[in-house]
Amino acid sequence: MISTSNLTKKYAATTAVNALNLEICRGEIFGFLGPNGAGKTTTIRMLAGVLRPTSGTIHIGQWNMSIHPREAKQIIGFIPDRPFLYAKLTGKEFLYFMSKLYGLNPKHADKRISFLLDFFEIAYCAGELIESYSHGMKQRLVMCAALLHQPRVLIVDEPMVGLDPKGAKLVKRVFRELAQKGTTVFMSTHSLEVAEEMCDRIGIINEGSLIAVGTMTELRATTGGTAEKLEAIFFKLTGEEVLSEMAVTSNIRS
Amino acid sequence: MNLLYPKYLQCKNSLFLQRRTTLLQAVVLFCVGILFWAGLFIVFYRVLVYFQSIEVLGNFLAAKLLSMVLLTFFSILVFSTIITAISVFFLSEELNLIISMPYDPEDLYHAKLLETILNSSWMVLLFSLPVFLSYGIVFHQGGAYYGILAATLPPFLCICGTLGAGIALGLVKTFPARRLKDILFLLSLLVLVVIYLLFRFLKPERLVDPEVFVTVIDYLSSLDMPAAPFLPSQWMTDCLATILFSRTTTDVGFNLGLLWSTAAALVIIVGWLFQSLYFGAWSKAQEARSVKITSTSLFAYLLEKALRPFPLQVQALVAKDIRCFFRDTAQWSQLIILGAIIIIYLYNFSVLPLDKSPIPLRYFQNVIAFLNLGLAGFVLAAVAVRFGFPAISMEGEAFWLIAASPLTLRRFVWCKFWMIFAILSFLGQVLIVCTNILLHTEKSMMILSSVTIFLMTFGISSLSIGVGAAYPKFRYENVAQISTGFGGFLSMIIALLYILLMVVIEALPVHLVIMADMARRSLTWREIVLIGISFCTIVVLTVVACIVPMQIGLKKLAAREVL
């Protein structure tokens, strides 16, 4: 459902993403991990069609993103890490705006908007201006918008940021149900527990290159361990060590 | 001063760590600034030289001009300081950090006051220098004049800045939470009041019509009379005029004392106000605005009905832009200024003394109506820079929604074009038709000007949207900032050149038609061919001005690294 071939993005002399090759199937939840500045957000933005790759191709379903961006975007739901929205619209107006951008039938949009507002528990503030929303409420609103047109591919950057435990639980449930119904979920996260709990497969990117990809079992085999947690695998693969809590504390206090 | 250190570092970094393109823009803006500076100097120099050539009256007129200039500076400075102070004292991002630290309120007050004064007054100060310099040169002044100038400017700027900061403090304390809408609305009204007062203070009709005075002595004494003896601008005028015109009726020491003591007193008084009001006002300014929009159901219904014939994506964009416009005070409040421009524009035409003209009335009417095309074009270009140029940038950081949606950039940009085109063509037709009615022009001239302004609107709209797409600024604090950069300037300059070119090309056919009409003869074949060529050129120019900027803007917007 998502396929990248030698996907590369360069910013002047810096290579943010280097020859990324990925194949993600229908109904799969794919976790994309990596340290800060590894190229996760750049990859996600290219997949969502808001950033142009330097070279390589992206296929969403049967559509090549550079040749048929409109068709590709029509089947994507994108949730960025920072939910910048139109502050002067109400939540409901924003969802109507999005439904029209995606060409939804107004009658169908009505029902879908009501359902999503209720489902994400923000119906009570749907008539208020977005500028008065908290980060979590905006995040829920963006999720409503991303799911409005029932996308076949959901691309999510840090889905749990800003959400309270209830919201995070809700999101996990949504992603699982969507995947069961055949939606492909591509998500980047810093929460290794979330990735371990939810993802069918995990890709780890470091300094722009994909250094490992597979199921938890496959990743364990890569690092030679048998019962390792994802955290240990991640640090081994990215070459970073878990800092001793004692050392950190003593350094901070001194 | 420690609180201002990060600001200093920011300025230094933005000067020395800029990308090459930004530096190029800075160089262009600097050159234009120099040209404007030089132009201002030349204008004032020539006016003052002319005044000097008028016996008896010369010095009075020069003094009156100085008083008017300083009163204008004073009004602009106080108003701009109120707006700057609201940002600097209450809305600046860094305040969250500063307030959370064990800060000294007095240090914060002094640092923020200095920042406010510097931010709001540097431009006025910069462009006041050629004025003062021209006075110094024309009236052969030496060190004493420049010394007095250097001694009067700091307290003058300090008074304006402190007054503005004090008013801002009171406003934010009075209006609860982040209700900038109310505050800015009030500020808009204040501007109108200030302009009205300023207008009355200047008494322009007296200056141009000495006949209204019973005697020359009355006229002279009215010119010599201080317009507003309680305003700091008058104290500064008196200081400078005493030296410039060797006056004996005013005293430098007394006025200098007034300026410095008022400045010191205001700093202390506003400081007290700050100590007692600031934290409460700042806390209120942080409250989010939570307003349930329920009163707009009729508006929403009408909007939906009006947009129904258009495709869904167009409906979405237009409805969104209209809603955001009327809910953002920074945007809709500009309509007040636009309204004032139209009223003044039409009023000027209504009072034109056509009957006193030595030129035949019919010819004069047509010439004025033709020149009015350029003037109306200029107004449209100014409105386009204010409303059209920022149209793309105003998507702000929510632009990712457009970029990630199936809406093509082409449709998005053209949709913006048609929106601004609709507004500008309505405005253009109102200006042209109303002025032509006021001028009693003939039907042929009415049709010609109406069609020309309609064509011009295509080019002007395209230039504002196209250049706006090529130089978008998605991160901004205030919508007014968007059009004040390099892109806005470029858009305005090209639009003015385009209008000039259109008027010049159309001058020949208009002249031929008027002359034939005056001579009561029909046009010759040669004249018809010339007219045809001119109109074809105008149509071609309009098509080029409409298509090229849009294509360039679209290409540049699509090529942006980060959408």
Share above pLDDT 70 across residues of chain B, in percent, rounded to a whole number: 79
Of A115-119, A151-155, A222-226, B404-408, give the lowest mean pLDDT range: A222-226
Q: Is B253 exposed, middle or buried (0-12, 13-18, 19+ CB in 10 A)?
A: exposed
Residue B289: which of A48, A49, A129 has the nearest Cβ?
A: A129
Question: What pLDDT shows up at residue A146?
Answer: 93
Question: What pLDDT shows up at residue B177?
Answer: 43
Interface mutation target, options A45, A70, A95, A100, chain B, most CBs of B under 10 Å: A100
Of A130-144, A157-171, B490-504, give the lowest mean pLDDT range: A157-171
* Residues A14, A8: Cα–Cα separation, whole Å: 11
* Residues B152, B232: Cα–Cα separation, whole Å: 10
What's the whole-number mean pLDDT along residues B6-34?
A: 69
Residue B158 has pLDDT above 80, yes or no: yes
**Exposure letters B373-399 (e unless 16+ CB within 10 A, then b):** bbbbbbbbbbbbbbbbbbbbbbbbebb
Residue B291 sits at the chain A interface (C-beta within 8 Å): yes
* Residues B367, B354: Cα–Cα separation, whole Å: 12
What's the whole-number mean pLDDT along residues B470-475?
A: 87
Check if the beta carbon of residue B179 is closer than 8 Å to that of residue B285.
no
**Exposure letters A137-168 (e unless 16+ CB within 10 A, then b):** bbbbbbbbbbbbbebbbbbbbbbbbbbeeebb
Interface mutation target, options B180, B294, B331, B401, chain A, most CBs of A under 10 Å: B401
**Token pair 């300081």 is at which residue?**
B81
Write the CA distances from A112 to A78, A107, A144, B137, integer angstroms.
17, 9, 9, 74
Question: What pLDDT shows up at residue A208?
Answer: 87
* Residue B507 distance to chain A (closest CA, Å): 46
The DSSP bridge partners found for residue A4 are A22, A58
Pairs across A and B, CB distance < 8 A = 94
* Residues B50, B62: Cα–Cα separation, whole Å: 10
B18 pLDDT band, cuts 50/70/90, is: low
* Residues of A in Cβ contact (< 8 Å) with B563: 50-51
Of A146-160, A232-246, B155-169, B541-555, give the lowest mean pLDDT range: A232-246
Which of B117, B166, B113 has the alpha carbon at shortest distance from B277?
B166
The DSSP bridge partners found for residue A201 are A30
Question: What pLDDT shows up at residue B201?
Answer: 52
The residue that leads in pLDDT, A220 or B220, is: A220
Question: What pLDDT shows up at residue B325?
Answer: 86
Check if the beta carbon of residue A1 is closer than 8 Å to that of residue A72.
no
CA atoms in the 13 A half-sphere facing the CB of B410:
4
* Residues B43, A9: Cα–Cα separation, whole Å: 54
* Residue B287 distance to chain A (closest CA, Å): 9
Residue A211 has pLDDT above 90, yes or no: no
Per-residue pLDDT tens over the stretch A84-104: 899 889 999 999 999 999 999
**Token pair 């006021």 is at which residue?**
B438
What's the whole-number mean pLDDT along residues B137-163?
A: 88
Residue A102: which of B324, B406, B559 has the nearest Cβ?
A: B406
**Exposure letters B328-340 (e unless 16+ CB within 10 A, then b):** bbebbbbeeebee
B487 pLDDT band, cuts 50/70/90, is: confident
ipTM of predicted assembly, 2 dp: 0.87
* Residues A154, A29: Cα–Cα separation, whole Å: 9
Write the CA distances from B363 to B367, B423, B502, integer angstroms.
6, 32, 21
Question: What pLDDT shows up at residue B188?
Answer: 63
Per-residue pLDDT tens over the stretch B246-282: 777 777 788 889 899 999 999 999 999 888 888 877 7
> SS3 helix, strand, coil % of chain B, rounded to 5?
85, 0, 15
Tokens of B53: 């050539």
Report chain A residues touching chain B, CB-CB < 8 A: 11, 48-52, 69-71, 73-74, 76, 78, 80, 82, 84-86, 88-90, 93, 96-104, 127-129, 131-132, 145
Judged by CB atoms closer than 8 Å, whether chains meet at A98 and B403 is answered as no
Give CA A55 to chain center in angstroms.
22
Residue B469 has pLDDT above 90, yes or no: yes
Per-residue pLDDT tens over the stretch B317-358: 999 999 888 887 767 767 776 776 777 677 777 766 666 666
Residue B153 sits at the chain A interface (C-beta within 8 Å): no
**Whole-number average pLDDT of chain B:** 80
What's the whole-number mean pLDDT along residues A64-83?
A: 90
Residue A97: which of B320, B396, B404 has the nearest Cβ?
A: B320
* Residue B396 distance to chain A (closest CA, Å): 8
CA angle centred on B223, ends B50 and B52, rounded to 5° = 20
Per-residue pLDDT tens over the stretch A121-145: 899 988 888 988 888 889 899 999 9
The DSSP bridge partners found for residue B242 are none
Residue B497 has pLDDT above 80, yes or no: yes
Judged by CB atoms closer than 8 Å, whether chains meet at A100 and B316 is answered as yes
Query: Which letter does DSSP use for residue B384 in this model?
Result: I
- Tell me the whole-structure pTM to 2 decimals: 0.74
Per-residue pLDDT tens over the stretch A31-67: 998 888 888 889 999 999 888 899 999 999 889 998 9
Write the CA distances from B164 to B89, B160, B170, integer angstroms.
11, 6, 10
The helix/strand/coil state of B562 is coil
Residue A89: which of B324, B408, B561 has the nearest Cβ?
A: B324
Residues ≥6 apart with Cβ < 8 Å to B231: B71, B74
What's the whole-number mean pLDDT along residues B411-415?
A: 94
